[in-house]
């Protein structure tokens, strides 16, 4: 049977996406199905200024429950955007984006709730309250376990009353930033991403020494199968961004970030710029260190509200 021209073009467009996802899975391990029911329950509730903060647990796997903060703004009659807010590398995990500790500049779940967004901030494996051995569960990386948990969280958010399922963003800084990008690469339900201090090209990371990406909290195959060598890696962050395109992405890449070289950020952005419609790939390069300064955060939230 001869394919129609439309079907042929759709297949041709899907081929690079499949190849890129397979490249990520060679490092992270295979992605299981994401579209499964996500039971959850509230275990505590507090009234804050202009929103309610709920402590919840949601079910990621049959015997695995992820603690999270759910921030529900006032005005429940309105369909509103939602954000999955992923924390940086900090022992308090989800408490920081929820505004309960850590750096005030990283209280982004609280900031978005005050703007009328529904915000969900879960713990990453072995941060905050959440204890989980991804490898005992058969995962090849903590990164993929995080992607699975976060995809379940997006499905939960989409089902909440008052949330517009077409306007769910993933937001994060550092660990949370690249986890937001990884999630969006695999899960098309993520409509936009705002990522801070979250990536550089692998060849620009610590002079090409990828050991920081290869420990048990990330992707051990980077060491065991690819020798921590950028030249042997089957993907780079340009591939992650290409998988997200044409969905909108906002990048905060400070000039003084000593973790993620701004030169490598520019390389990745330049490689994929043509894949994004005008205005859908935004980047700021503040004169700052490894952080997310308030003016840039404010512009990121306004940008998300505009593109969504």
In degrees, to the nearest 5, what angle opens at C-alpha 189 toward C-alphas 62 and 243? Answer: 110
The pLDDT mean for the chain works out to 95
**Beta strands at 51-61 and 64-73: parallel, antiparallel or unpaired:** antiparallel
pLDDT band at 170 (very low <50, low <70, confident <90, very high): very high
188-245 pLDDT, tens per residue? 999 999 999 999 999 999 999 999 999 999 999 999 999 999 999 999 999 999 999 9
Give the mean pLDDT of 49-64.
Answer: 97
Confidence of residue 78 (pLDDT cuts 50, 70, 90): confident
Left, alpha or beta for 95 (phi > 0: left; psi -120 to 50: alpha)?
alpha
Overall residue count recorded for the chain in this entry: 308
This prediction's pTM: 0.94
Q: Which residue has the higher pLDDT, 246 or 78?
A: 246
CA distance 205 to 292: 19
* Span 282-295, average pLDDT: 98
CB atoms closer than 10 angstroms to residue 34:
18
pLDDT at 76: 61
Tell me the pLDDT tens digit for each residue of 23-46. Answer: 999 999 999 998 889 999 999 999
Distance CA 290, CA 173 (A): 9
Residue 158 burial (CB < 10 Å; 0-12/13-18/19+)?
A: middle
- SS3 (DSSP) at 47: strand
Per-residue pLDDT at 244? 98
């Amino acid at each position: 049977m001869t394919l129609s021209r439309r079907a042929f073009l759709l297949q041709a467009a899907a081929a690079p996406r499949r190849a890129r996802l397979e490249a990520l899975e060679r490092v992270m391990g295979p992605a299981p199905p994401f579209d499964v029911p996500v039971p959850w329950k509230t275990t505590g509730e507090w009234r804050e200024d202009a929103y309610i903060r709920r402590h919840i647990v949601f079910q990621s796997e049959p015997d695995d429950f992820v603690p999270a903060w759910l921030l529900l703004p006032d005005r429940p009659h309105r369909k509103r955007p939602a954000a999955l807010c992923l924390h940086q590398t900090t022992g308090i995990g989800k408490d920081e984006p929820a505004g309960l500790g850590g750096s005030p500049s990283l209280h982004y779940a609280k900031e978005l709730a005050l703007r009328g967004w529904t915000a969900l901030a879960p713990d990453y494996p072995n941060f905050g309250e959440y204890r989980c051995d991804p490898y005992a569960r058969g995962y090849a990386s903590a990164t993929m376990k995080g992607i699975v948990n976060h995809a379940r969280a997006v499905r939960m958010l989409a089902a909440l009353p008052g949330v517009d399922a077409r306007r769910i963003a993933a937001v994060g800084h550092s660990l949370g930033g690249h986890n937001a990008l990884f999630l969006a690469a695999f899960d098309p339900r993520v409509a936009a991403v705002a990522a801070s201090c979250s990536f550089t090209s692998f060849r620009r990371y610590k002079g090409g020494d990828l050991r920081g990406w290869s420990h048990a909290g990330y992707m051990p195959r980077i060491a065991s199968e690819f020798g921590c060598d950028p030249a042997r890696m089957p993907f780079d962050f340009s591939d992650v961004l290409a998988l997200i395109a044409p969905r909108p992405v906002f990048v905060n890449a400070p000039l003084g970030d000593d973790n993620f070289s701004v030169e490598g950020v520019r390389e990745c952005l330049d490689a994929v710029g043509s894949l994004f419609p005008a205005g859908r790939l935004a980047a700021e390069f503040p004169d700052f260190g490894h952080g997310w300064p308030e003016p840039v955060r404010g512009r990121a939230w306004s940008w998300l509200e505009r593109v969504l």
